[in-house]
Chain A
C-alpha cells in the first residue's frame, strides 16, 4: 500500500469520483489554482466547468450548489476554511438540510460541503473554528470527521455518492500526515466507528486529530499496564452509539476527547448518550477533554494547551482508571 498524505487522499477521492460520474463537480474559491493541494490535476483533466472557481460569496455559491443538486448534479463545495461556513449557514440550514423534508421527499440534495479546520496554528479567532458540533444540531445534514488519509478518502467517496447533504470537516492539522491507502477502490460506510486500539480499562472516544493523540496516549498508558480502547466515530451524524456503548460496557469508564468547544459540543452529546443508555455500566463519572469555551488567540504562547494532546489525554485516563 502506498503512503500518501491526507490532502492527497482527498484529491484522489475527488478525482476518482469525478472520473466515475459526470454529474460530480468541484466548486469553491480558487479550486482551479489548487492553493491548498486538494484539487491538483483536476482542472487539466475535467476542465474549468467541473472545477469551477467561484466569486467570494459563500452564501450565494452554496445556494448555487443546492440548486444544481436539485436538478441532478452532485456538487462538492470546498469552503477551504470552516469558519467561512457561517456566511453560508442560511443555505446549509434552511435549504440543504430542509428541502427533502419540507418538500415531502420530492427532492433531495446530494451535495458535499468540505471544510478545513485550521486551528492550532496561530491563525486566530476568525479562522480557527472547529464547528462540526453546531451543525450536529441541524436535522437533515450528515457530518463526517475523518482522522487519517485512509478514512478521508473512503469517507469522502461515500459522501460524494450519498444522496443527502454531507458536511465533511477536514482537520488541517492532519493535512500533511501520511498514511497507507490501498490502490484498489474502497468506500467507508457512515455510522460505523473505527476501533483503533482494543482495551479493557478505559474507553477513549476521540474526534479528528484527537484520534491520533489518543492513540499516542493509549500507547503510553499500555506501558503502565493500563489498556485503553480508542474509538473514532468517523461520522458524528450518524453516530455509532452501539460501538461506544459496547466498549463502555466492557471498560466501565469513558473519556471523550474533542478539539471543539465544550458547551453543547460533540463530546457532550457522546457523554449524554452514554449517561442515558450506559449509566449502569459506568464505574466512574464520564470525563470530557475539550478546548476551553474561549475564543482562539493568535499568539502561540496563548494558544498552546488549548487542545487536548496525548499527555493531557493520558493524565485524564489515569485519573479515570483510579476512580
Chain B
C-alpha cells in the first residue's frame, strides 16, 4: 500500500465513486421504466473492480461479463458514452446496439462484455495469445464470477493459458451467488482459487472489499504475466448488494439473509478505502472527490438524456465489417 502514490489512490477513490453513482443512477432509470430489458448492478463490488483495473497499463486489455458497468469505468472509459449506451442512444459507446450487458470501450482496451456466463474467459486468453504472438508485452485481465467458474470455459481457458504461459490474469469476482444459488450449493470447494493448482497456476485469495489489497495482488499477477511467467488466478471475495438483476423478479426472495447483507455493508469498499486514507487525507478532500464523481455521473445522465435515439436504419449496420447483402439489411 505504501508503494501506491497519493494521486493513484485518489484516482482509485474517484473511479469507485463513479461506479457507485453510475449504478445508482442506472437503478433509478430502470425503476422508472427507462431501461428496457435487464440490468445487473455491481454496487458493493467496486473495490475489486477498480483495484484490479488500475493494476493495468492503459494499453492492456480487459474483458468483462454481464455485471459489468464498472469494468470499463475502472479501465478508464468515459462515462458519457457508457450511460448513453444504457439508454440506447446514438451516442452510446456501442451506438445503442449492446446495452447494459455488453458495454465495451475498445479505445481503452475494454474488449467487451459477454452476457453468456463464462464465455469471456477464452476470449481473454485469445487476446493474450495475440499479444504474445505480436511480441508486445500487453497483459489481459479477465473478470468472471464464481458462477462462471463452473463452466467448462473456465477449465479450458485456465489450461490453455497455463500451457502456453500466456499473459493473462484471471480475476474471479466471488460474490457468493449465481443468481439465487449460493456457491456452496454449486461447487464442492469453497475457494475457486484452489482449482488453479490443477493447472499448475499460482493463485491467491484477496479481500475484494479492500481496493488496495486487490491492487497489490493483481499488480503482482500482472508483473508475472508481463514477465512471461504465465497466468495467475486471483479470487476476490466480494458481495453484490443488489439481487442478480433489477426488477420485481427477486422481490421477497429469501435466498440470502438480511443479516448477511447488513454485515457486508459494514465492509463497504468505499467506506474501507476512506478509513485507510484517513491517516493522511482529510474527509473534506474525500468528500470533494465523491461529489465530483457524483457530478460527473449527473453530467453523463444529462448527456445521455439529451442525446438522440439512433435512426431506425442504424439497426441494419455493423453486422459485418465487409458488408454483404442480407435480408432486410446491409448493401
Q: Which A residues form the contact surface with B (CB < 8 A)?
A: 23, 25, 49-50, 54-55, 57, 59-73, 90-91, 94-95, 99-108, 110, 139-140, 142, 162-164, 190-191, 237-238
Cα distance A300–B322 in the bound complex, in angstroms: 43
What 7 A-B pairs come out closest when comparing CB atoms?
A67-B126, A63-B122, A60-B156, A104-B94, A108-B321, A64-B126, A71-B130
B122 close to A64 (CB less than 8 A): yes
A238 close to B324 (CB less than 8 A): yes
Which stretch, B2-10, B24-32, B96-104, B226-234, touches the partner chain A?
B96-104
Cα distance A63–B156 in the bound complex, in angstroms: 10
Distance in Å: Cβ of B149 to nearest Cβ of chain A: 14
A60 close to B130 (CB less than 8 A): no
Cα distance A103–B99 in the bound complex, in angstroms: 9
- Not counting A63-B126, A68-B127, A73-B129, a sample of 4 additional A-B residue pairs whose C-beta atoms are within 8 angstroms of each other reads A63-B121, A64-B125, A100-B320, A105-B317
Q: Which B residues form the contact surface with A (CB < 8 A)?
A: 61, 63, 92-98, 102, 104-107, 111-112, 114, 116, 119, 121-131, 133-134, 140, 152-153, 156-157, 159-160, 163, 317-322, 324-326, 329
Distance in Å: Cβ of B226 to nearest Cβ of chain A: 16
Q: Beyond A104-B95, A140-B320, is A238–B325 a contact (Cβ under 8 Å)?
A: yes
Distance in Å: Cβ of A193 to nearest Cβ of chain B: 13
Which residues on A sit within 8 Å (CB–CB) of B63? 67
Q: Beyond A59-B152, A103-B102, is A66–B126 a contact (Cβ under 8 Å)?
A: yes
Q: Beyond A90-B116, A104-B93, A139-B326, is A63–B125 a contact (Cβ under 8 Å)?
A: yes
Q: Beyond A100-B318, A142-B324, is A106–B94 a contact (Cβ under 8 Å)?
A: yes
Which residues on A sit within 8 Å (CB–CB) of B102? 102-103
Q: Beyond A63-B121, A72-B134, A103-B106, is A95–B114 a contact (Cβ under 8 Å)?
A: yes
Task: Please tell me which one of the listed residues B107, B111, B131, B152 contacts residue A60 in the complex, with CB atoms under 8 A apart.
Answer: B152
A-B contact pairs, 11 of them (CB 8 A): A57-B159, A60-B160, A67-B128, A103-B98, A104-B95, A106-B93, A106-B105, A140-B319, A164-B321, A191-B324, A191-B325
Q: Beyond A49-B133, A66-B123, is A94–B116 a contact (Cβ under 8 Å)?
A: yes
Cα distance A197–B331 in the bound complex, in angstroms: 29
Which residues on B sit within 8 Å (CB–CB) of A63? 119, 121-123, 125-126, 153, 157
A107 close to B111 (CB less than 8 A): yes
Which residues on A sit within 8 Å (CB–CB) of B157? 60, 63-64
Which residues on B sit within 8 Å (CB–CB) of A95? 114, 116, 119, 123
Q: Beyond A62-B122, A95-B114, A237-B324, is A72–B130 a contact (Cβ under 8 Å)?
A: yes
Distance in Å: Cβ of B296 to nearest Cβ of chain A: 23
Cα distance A101–B63 in the bound complex, in angstroms: 17
Which residues on A sit within 8 Å (CB–CB) of B130? 67-73
Which residues on A sit within 8 Å (CB–CB) of B127? 67-68, 70-71
A104 close to B98 (CB less than 8 A): yes
Which residues on B sit within 8 Å (CB–CB) of A72? 130, 134
Which residues on A sit within 8 Å (CB–CB) of B121? 60, 63
B318 close to A94 (CB less than 8 A): no
Q: Beyond A57-B156, A104-B97, is A71–B321 a contact (Cβ under 8 Å)?
A: no
Task: Please tell me which one of the listed residues A102, A162, A164, A191 contacts residue B98 in the complex, with CB atoms under 8 A apart.
Answer: A102
Query: Who on chain B is nearest to A25 by CB?
Result: B133
Which residues on B sit within 8 Å (CB–CB) of A94? 114, 116, 119
Which residues on B sit within 8 Å (CB–CB) of A49? 133
A91 close to B111 (CB less than 8 A): no
Which residues on B sit within 8 Å (CB–CB) of A103? 94, 97-98, 102, 104, 106, 112
Query: Who on chain B is nearest to A106 by CB?
Result: B106
Query: Who on chain A is nearest to B129 by CB?
Result: A68
Q: Beyond A71-B131, A103-B98, A107-B112, is A162–B126 a contact (Cβ under 8 Å)?
A: no
